Amino acid sequence: MTDINYYDPLIVDVLPHEEGMQVRTVLERRLGVSRKLLSRLKLTEQGITLNGNRVYTSEKVNAGDQLAIRMEKERSDDILPQPMELEILYEDDDLLVVSKPAGIIVHPTHGHYTNTLANGVVYHWQQRGEQVRFRPIHRLDQDTSGVVAIAKNPYIHQQLSEQMQRDEMDKEYYAFVFNVPTPASGTVNEPIDRDPEQPHIRIVTLDGYPSVTHYETLHSYGNGAAALVALRLETGRTHQIRVHMQHLGCNLIGDQMYGRTETHLVPWMSEAEAAAGRQALHARRLAFTHPGTGQRISFAAPLPFDLLRLEQQLLALPNEID
């Protein structure tokens, strides 16, 4: 039997205190394997083995036994490979971390089957001879730039998704906003849900889902006319930063959905929005524990050219603005 269609196995040597435990218990405790992934592994011939033999997850183990799980290699056959310039921050057998430019959708959707990050990543893996399915850990809006992590097998995806759910993954964003938040640093703990009259819009509402955003003003421009704000998310609601900043009266510059409506009447505002060309939001840093090595790793993406151009415009604002 060859393992050509499998990723390298994850191996667990059974310890003395694990004597008599069930296979599923050892795998869940030692590797953190979810019940869902165990169910998938049981369907493949080499998915779960004990001392080299296929085994039921209810079977009991002895000290010194060797457990192994093997995941079948998969491909994203529904994603068209497409040459694309990728800014790769990190890659190994388990993970790919890239800096996504603004204007690019992460995953194909109805009406957007090409020119997405997924198309470029699948092509990149194809050129490397890797058989991998596209599994982003999180997504960014089309017009948000910055760090995106992509798992290269279902175990890594499960582990990182759980870190995100437990708020063990640090996600820091930079946003250029109108006005300066009051107070300058703090936490927005306001529930968010869909606007019942406009389902594609999110709003702060008492009946919404718990949503928590921590923010810190890094710099103010034009005597408080605008600011650069660092934000860290505890939750990951759709449009969370944009909605919470709007709630503070600090709409993101260039935000066509949640932005201010009078910017075309104020020259410096319209110039700032033109300089940004999109919502001025950037996923600057992402940190998490690598499931394969147990090491804490961190990745950062500097501000892209369009936001640097916006920053230069804001720095040139006079101290007093009508």
Q: Which residues are catalytic?
A: 141
33, 153 contact by CB (below 8 A): no
Residue for token pair 């600090």 = 250
Q: Label residue 129 left, alpha or beta by phi (over 0 means left) and psi (-120 to 50 means alpha).
A: left
Pick the closest to residue 255 from 272, 267, 235, 231 (CA basis): 272
Q: How far apart are CA 176 and CA 228, in angstroms?
A: 5
φ/ψ of 213, rounded to 5, equals -125, 125
Pick the closest to residue 170 from 144, 138, 143, 218 (CA basis): 138
φ/ψ of 263, rounded to 5, equals -60, -30
- DSSP assignment of 4-44: TTBPPPEEEEPPGGGTT-BHHHHHHHHH---HHHHHHHTTS
Which residues, other chains included, contact 77 with Cβ-Cβ below 8 Å and sequence gap of 6+?
A: none
41, 9 contact by CB (below 8 A): no
Q: What angle do CA 273, 277, 282 make, to 5 degrees?
A: 95
DSSP letter for 270, please.
Answer: H
Side-chain-facing half-sphere of 313: CA atoms under 13 Å: 21
Classify strands 66-69 and 10-13 as parallel, antiparallel or unpaired. antiparallel
Q: Which long-range contacts (CB under 8 A, 24 or more apart) does 33-37 make?
A: 33/69, 33/155, 33/158, 34/158, 34/162, 36/158, 37/154, 37/155, 37/158
